[in-house]
Structure 1
Amino acid sequence: MRLYLLRHAEAENTAPDETRELTAKGEKTLRKLCQTLKPEEFDGVRKLCHSPLTRAVQTARLFKDFLKLSQPLQERAGLRPEDNPFVWLRELAEDEDDLMFIGHNPHLSILADALMLQSREGGLITFRKAGLLCLRRLCPPSRALPYGEWTLEWFIVPRVL
């Protein structure tokens, strides 16, 4: 199983947090990110799950459109910046299909750190806006590894685009 984590692209700072829209720069950065990717990389993803906040919804739609992906978009509770990322650990433990989460910091960073470090401490991964990370689960959860064993496949940060 692979888990793709995409932080929303740059958004305006003027509107209320829930309704902030992507800037032209944010859309351009996201387009550049998508130009570096191969759509077939995401063939195993069954759905693109996104936060209900406007900037994450827009990022999810543009990502899907730019790569011409056919998977459905699905708004999911639990992907807001202030939500507890640990609620996803059970679903990730039971799922065999690849998943993609489009959301926010600190949520995505905490989730990635928990999976790779088996810890709630964090501090390893810092997502920039429009940053995309791919984790691969090597083995399912066990007593020794309660979240399963995960490894970093790749991490694309916008600065290198």
Structure 2
Amino acid sequence: MSAAASPRRIVLLRHAKADWPAVPDHERPLADRGRKEAPVAGRRLMELDIPFDLTLCSSAVRTRETWKLVAHELPHRPRTVYEERMYDATLGDLLALLNETPEDVDDLLLVGHNPGIHALADALAGTSEGDALARVDRTGFPTAAIAVITFTGPWKTVEHGVGRLVEFWSPHD
């Protein structure tokens, strides 16, 4: 199958609930609630049965802790890159990262932060199944929430409106 016709999935996962101790923002750990949310999100990803080729995870403590707990629930752990540019990333930063994704990756998981993850879901979703997009807009992409966006074509062409939001899930629903 050519890259132009190859179906791809971008899965967005916001980190689980973080604590607010007196440390720099990048070093904030998960709260007790977050340590409970993350495995639930991992089980939801397992149910979706997406064979991730690559995970890009923010370098922040709370995202790394979330990913560790999520990955423990998956049947296999995909190659993981801890990406400094995902911390405090703007929509433009995240789109640039997607555009740099290797063409042999069909299913990509991003573990990141708001407001960037929410902005990316909103920007990529030209269409959605059911009320998924309305639910993202209404809830603001809560902690440990997951969005699945499908698109076809090469990664370098990912831009606003290119995808279809096929799933939105939150442990708070």
- Pick the TM interval, shorter chain: 0.7 to 0.9
State the TM-score, normalizing by the size of structure 2. Answer: 0.75
From the superposition, tell whether residues 40 and 59 of structure 1 become closer, same or farther in structure 2 (CA, over 3 Å): same
**Which ranges in structure 2 are unaligned for 5 or more consecutive residues?**
1-7, 128-133
Report the equivalent of 1:80.
87
User: Percent identity, aligned pairs only?
Assistant: 27
Is 2:112 the partner of 1:98? no
Report the equivalent of 2:165.
152
Aligned residues of 1:39 and 1:67 also touching (Cα < 8 A): no
Q: Aligned partners of 1:159, 1:147: CA distance in 2, in Å?
A: 28
Displacement of 1:97: 1.6
Number of paired residues?
154
Q: Aligned partners of 1:81, 1:31: CA distance in 2, in Å?
A: 24
Report the equivalent of 1:35.
43
Displacement of 1:72: 2.2
Q: Secondary structure at the match of 1:38?
A: helix
Q: Secondary structure at the match of 2:164?
A: strand
Q: Aligned partners of 2:152, 2:53: CA distance in 1, in Å?
A: 19
From the superposition, tell whether residues 25 and 5 of structure 1 become closer, same or farther in structure 2 (CA, over 3 Å): same
Question: Which one of 134, 143, 160 corresponds to residue 129 of structure 1?
Answer: 143
Cα shift readout 1:122-143 (whole Å, capped 9, x = no counterpart): x9642100001100004558x9
Aligned residues of 1:140 and 1:148 also touching (Cα < 8 A): no
Displacement of 1:68: 3.8
Aligned residues of 1:4 and 1:134 also touching (Cα < 8 A): yes
Look up the equivalent residue of 1:55 and give its one-letter code: R
Displacement of 1:116: 1.7
Aligned residues of 1:139 and 1:149 also touching (Cα < 8 A): no
Q: Aligned partners of 1:154, 1:32: CA distance in 2, in Å?
A: 16
State the TM-score, normalizing by the size of structure 1. Answer: 0.80
Question: Which one of 23, 32, 36 corresponds to residue 31 of structure 2?
Answer: 23
Spell out structure 1 runs of 4+ moving beyond 6 A. none
Cα shift readout 1:66-102 (whole Å, capped 9, x = no counterpart): 2242312211132112443232352359565210000
From the superposition, tell whether residues 58 and 100 of structure 1 become closer, same or farther in structure 2 (CA, over 3 Å): same
Moved more, 4-13 or 61-70: 61-70
Cα shift readout 1:13-32 (whole Å, capped 9, x = no counterpart): 11220111111211111222
Is 2:14 the partner of 1:7? yes
Aligned residues of 2:12 and 2:110 also touching (Cα < 8 A): yes
